[in-house]
Structure 1
Amino acid sequence: MGRIDLERLSREELIELVLRLQRPEKTSLTSSKPPATDRKERREQSKPGGAKPGHEGHSRVMSDDPDTVVDHRPDRCSCCGGDLHTALPTEVVGVSEGIELPEVAPVVTQHRRLAVRCPTCGTRVVAAVPEAAQGTPFGPRLHAVATYLKTFQALSYARLQAALSDLFGLTLSQGGLMNLLQRAQRRFRSGRDEAVSTLRRATVVASDETGVRIEGSNAYHWVFHSAQAVVHTASPTRGAIVVREMMDGHRPAVWISDRYTAQQGHAAAHQTCLAHLARDVAYAVDTSDDPVPWRLQLWLASVFALAERVTDLATATLAAKRRSLDRQLGAILATPSRCDLTRDLQAKIGRARRQLLVFLDHPGAVEPTNNGSERLLRPAVIQRKVTNGYRAMWAAEGEADIRTVVDTARLTGSSPFGTILKTISA
C-alpha cells in the first residue's frame, strides 16, 4: 500500500490498520504453529521443564530375571575382627545392577553345494539349491532392524547405511537398502488391508493430514483412526476424495477433525477440534482488549472441565449442562464488538456451533479435540523435517503401511519393533 492509498483512507480505517500492524505474531500457544517457530525470547520466558512440584518420583525397576547374580558378603566383623564364616545366615540389604550391551556381530551362515561322483556309474551328482540360499541373503531380523531405524528413528539412507556399518559391521549399498526396505514393506500390505476394513466399520473416526514432499513435489500424509484401528495413507492431494476413497461409502456416527473443508460431511455428526479454537481464542485474548475473547476463553475452560468428568455424569445432567453451555455461547456470539478480530472469531465459532458439543452426546466415545490425530502424525512430521521427504511414491506408501500396522498394534500394547519383526517373520 503506497502513500496515495493511505491518504485515501478514513480516520477509522487508519486506526484499524495501525492496530492490525501492532498485533503480536502468532505462536504455538495461539495457533497451530509448532513450538520450534516461537521466538527465542518467548521460549526463555516459558515455564521450566522437568517434574512439577509435588510430583512423585520414580526410580528404575530392578530386573526380575538377571543374567548373573553376584553376592558380596563380608568375611570379617568390622567391630571385633572376628571371622564371619559362610555358615552364618545372611540378609539382602541393598541391590544394584550393572547393565551392558553385548557386542553385536552378524551371524553369517554359508550354504555350500557339494558334488559327489557316483562310485557305481561315475555320474557327478550336485546337491540341489537349498531354500535358504534362494532370494535375499538378509534375514528377517535384519529387515526388521533396518525398517525400524528408517521408519521410526527417521534415518536417511546415508545415516542408515552408517548405522548398520558402525553398530553391526554390515556394509550395504544404498541401492541394496532400498531393495531390502521394499521387500519388508510388502509384508505389511495385508495388515494394512485389515486395518482399513476395521476402520470402515467404526462408529467414531478421527482424521487429520500434514504436508510431505514426495518425488520433489508437495503431497500429504493422512491419518484416520478409531478405537480399533489406525490407518496412514500418502496422497498427492489434500482433497476430500482421499476421505471418500478411504471410507468407501461408510458413514460413521461421528467424525472428529479440524474445520478444514475436505474433512466436512463424512459422518452423521461432526465434532470440531476445540483445541484449534482454543488457540485462536488465546490469540485474540493476547491481541485485543475486547471482553468477548476472554469470555470465550472462560467458556472453553468450562467445556474442557466438563469433558474430564463426562463419563461420571448422568445423561440428564449432561443434557442440562449442554443446554446451559449452548445458551452461554449464544449470548457471547450475539455480543456486538468493534474489534474485527473478535467479529471474525464470533463468525468462525458461529459456523461451527453445532459441532462444538457433540462429544457430550457420546460420553467417553468421542473426544472434544483432535489431539489424537496430531500425535499420530507427529512422527511423519519429524521425518519430513529430518529427511526432507521421500524419493519415490513407493517409499511413502510403504512407510504408511508400516505405520498403519504398528500404530494399530499399539492400541493393544504391542511394541513397534516387536510388531515389525513379527510381521516380517510371518
Structure 2
Amino acid sequence: MWFDLVVAELEELSREDLIVLVRAQSERIAGLEEANKELAAKLARLEHLLSRNSGNSSVPPSRDDDPGRSAPKPKRSGGRGSKPRGKQPGAPGANLAWRQDPDDRVDRFPQGRCECGTELAQGRDLGIVDQYQQHEIPPVAVKVTQYDQHAVACGCGQVHTAARPEGARSGPVGYGPNLQALAVYLLAVQFLPVGRVLGLLESLTGTAPSAGFVHGMLARAAGLLDVVDKRIRALLTLAHVVAADETPLRVGPAGSKKYLLVACTELYTHYLLGGRDLDTFKALAIADLAAGSVIVHDRYQNYDAAPYAHLLHQLCTAHLVRDLETAVELYPDEHWPTQIRDALRGLIHEANTARAAGADQIDPTVKDELVRRFRHGVLVGLKTTASHGDRPGERKTRLLLEELHDRPDDVLRFTTDLRVPATSNQAERDLRPSKIQQNISGRLTSEDRTRDRFQILGYLSTATKHGLNQITVLRQAILGRPWMPELPATV
C-alpha cells in the first residue's frame, strides 16, 4: 500500500519536477558511494595498521598483544637455520661450579643428644661424609671510616701532610666510591628513578643519601668521562664497519621529543642526543670514517646525505626481510615476495656459516644461485607492481622493490665482504637500553642529564664489550682514573 501511494504521488509530478528529483537522487547516491569509498579506505588502512607486528614492521614485540592486533606468524621450525630452544651448541655455559679453594671452611657436627641420652658433642668423629658449598654475599651495611691526615716535619724544616683517601671530596664527611658507583649504576644502567634509588640504597646499606646528591652523580660521573668519550669516538672512526641507528626519546617538557643516535661496533659504543635532522647526523662519529668504510643502517634518508658520500653502505637486511613479510601478506598468490625473502635469508645464513667457519667467502656456487633467485624475484615483483593499486602497503612495497633493484651492492655487500654484518642488530641492541628506560622511568626532564646518562652508558657498553665489569669501571671513573680503551698498535 505504501508503494502504491508513492507511485501515485510520482505520477502527479510534472516532467520537470521528475528530472529535478532524479538529479537530486543521483547526487545523493554519488555522495553515498564516495562516503562508502572513504569508509572502505579507512577500514583498509585500519586493518593494515592492526596487521603490523614485530614480524613485518618495526613495531616492538611488546605491542604484539595489543587489542585487535594480529600476532606474528609462527617462525618456521626445522630445516636449515632452525635453532633448538635453550643453550646453543658451542655457546659458553654457565653453572655454579665446585671450587677447590673456597674462601672459608666450616666444620659442622651433629647437635643435641643421642637417643641413649649422651651428648653428641662427646661422640667420636668419623670424618666428613657430606660436603656442600654455598655461594653467598655478606650482609651489606655502610662502614664509616675516619681518616686522620697527619702532618710530619722533615729534618730540613719542610712540613708534609698526608693526602685524603682516593676519591674523597671536600668537606668533613662524604660517601665513598663504592656507594657512588652503585648509585650511578642504578640510575644509568638499571634506569631507576632517583626516589627508587634512594629507597634501594637505604634498604641495602642502611644509609639514605639526599636526592640532590644521587641525581648530581650523573653530571659528576659524566664529567669524569669526557676524555674516554672522545677516545671511543676516535676509535670508532678507525673502524672498517660501523653500525648506526636512531630512536625517539621523550626528553624535556611534555610533548617534546629528541632522538638518540648510536654509532657502534662489536667493541665500541658512542651515543649522540639531538634531532633527526641532517645537522645532528653530521655530528655523528660515522661522518669522520675514512673513505671506503662501511655503514650499516636502516635506510633512513640522512645516511645517504652528502656528509656520508665517501662511505659504502650495507642496508640492514633485518629491516628488508620485515618489509618483505608485508609483501608476502599483500600478494599471497604471488611467488616473488617469498622467493626474494627466502633468497635473502639464505644468503644471510651462508654468510654467517662461512664467517663462523673462518672462511673468507661464501661458497660461490651457492651464493650465485641465491643471488640469481633474489634478482629474478625482484624483476618479477617490479613487473607485477608496475601499476600498483591503492591498498595500504602497496606503494611501500613498490618503493622497496625499486631500492632492491637500484642498490644491489648496498643490499648484498655482506655477501662479498664477510667483515660486514648483514644487519644493524648491534646498533639496535645498543639502543635497547634507551627504550627500556622509557618503559621503566618515562620522560626524562633534562636534556643535559640525558646526555650525561648516555655518555656514561657509552663508556659502560664499551667496557662490557671488552669483558670488563660495569661496577668496577664505574668505581675507577669516580676515583678519577677511568678505564681507557687502548689505541690500536698502528696509531
Same topology, TM > 0.5:
yes
Q: Secondary structure at the match of 1:220?
A: strand
Aligned letter for 1:391? T
Aligned letter for 1:262? N
Hey, what does 2:352 align to over in structure 1?
308
5+ residue gaps in structure 1? 75-83, 116-126
Q: Is the 8 A contact 2:266 2:426 kept in 1?
A: no
Hey, what does 2:55 align to over in structure 1?
29
Cα distance in structure 2, aligned partners of 1:149 and 1:170: 15
Cα deviation digits, residues 172-221 of structure 1 (max 9, x gap): 22112122332222111111110011112222111111111222231111
Check 1:59–1:202 CA distance in 2 against 1; reply closer, same or farther (3 A cut).
closer
Aligned letter for 2:426? G
Cα distance in structure 2, aligned partners of 1:389 and 1:19: 34
Residue from 458, 470, 473 that aligns with 1:404: 458
Hey, what does 2:258 align to over in structure 1?
219
Residue from 294, 304, 313 that aligns with 1:254: 294
Hey, what does 1:336 align to over in structure 2?
384
Check 1:63–1:389 CA distance in 2 against 1; reply closer, same or farther (3 A cut).
farther
Alignment of 1:229 onto 2:257? no
Cα distance in structure 1, aligned partners of 2:108 and 2:36: 88
Higher mean C-alpha displacement, 143-152 vs 20-29: 20-29
Hey, what does 1:242 align to over in structure 2?
280
Cα distance in structure 1, aligned partners of 2:320 and 2:124: 74
Hey, what does 1:131 align to over in structure 2?
164
Q: Is the 8 A contact 2:258 2:273 kept in 1?
A: yes
Cα distance in structure 2, aligned partners of 1:128 and 1:70: 45
Q: TM-score, normalised by structure 1?
A: 0.80
Cα distance in structure 1, aligned partners of 2:320 and 2:298: 9
Residue from 81, 85, 89 that aligns with 1:52: 85
Check 1:406–1:144 CA distance in 2 against 1; reply closer, same or farther (3 A cut).
same
Which structure 2 residues correspond to residues 371-386 of structure 1 after superposition, within 5 A? 371-386=425-440
Cα distance in structure 2, aligned partners of 1:97 and 1:43: 46
Residue from 91, 96, 103 that aligns with 2:132: 96
Deviation of 1:379 (Å): 0.9
Percent sequence identity is: 25
Alignment of 1:68 onto 2:87? no
Cα deviation digits, residues 35-57 of structure 1 (max 9, x gap): 1111268679979xxx7389789
Residue from 417, 423, 429 that aligns with 1:362: 417
Aligned letter for 1:62? W
Cα distance in structure 1, aligned partners of 2:163 and 2:42: 79
5+ residue gaps in structure 2? 1-27, 76-83, 111-122, 152-159, 482-491
Q: Secondary structure at the match of 2:242?
A: strand
Q: Secondary structure at the match of 2:262?
A: strand
Q: Computing the radius of gyration over CA atoms, which structure comes out larger, 1 or 2?
A: 2
Which structure 2 residues correspond to residues 139-178 of structure 1 after superposition, within 5 A? 139-178=176-215
Deviation of 1:362 (Å): 1.4
Q: Is the 8 A contact 2:56 2:324 kept in 1?
A: yes
Cα distance in structure 1, aligned partners of 2:94 and 2:187: 32
Hey, what does 2:337 align to over in structure 1?
293
Alignment of 1:347 onto 2:399? yes
Cα distance in structure 2, aligned partners of 1:165 and 1:317: 62
Hey, what does 2:25 align to over in structure 1?
none
Deviation of 1:333 (Å): 3.2
Q: Is the 8 A contact 1:208 1:222 kept in 2?
A: yes
Residue from 349, 352, 364 that aligns with 1:317: 364
Cα distance in structure 1, aligned partners of 2:200 and 2:237: 39
Q: What is the count of residue pairs matched by the alignment? A: 397
Higher mean C-alpha displacement, 177-186 vs 315-324: 315-324
Hey, what does 1:206 align to over in structure 2?
243
Q: TM-score, normalised by structure 2?
A: 0.70
Cα distance in structure 2, aligned partners of 1:238 and 1:307: 32
Hey, what does 2:19 align to over in structure 1?
none
Q: Secondary structure at the match of 1:334?
A: helix
Check 1:134–1:405 CA distance in 2 against 1; reply closer, same or farther (3 A cut).
closer
Aligned letter for 1:306? E
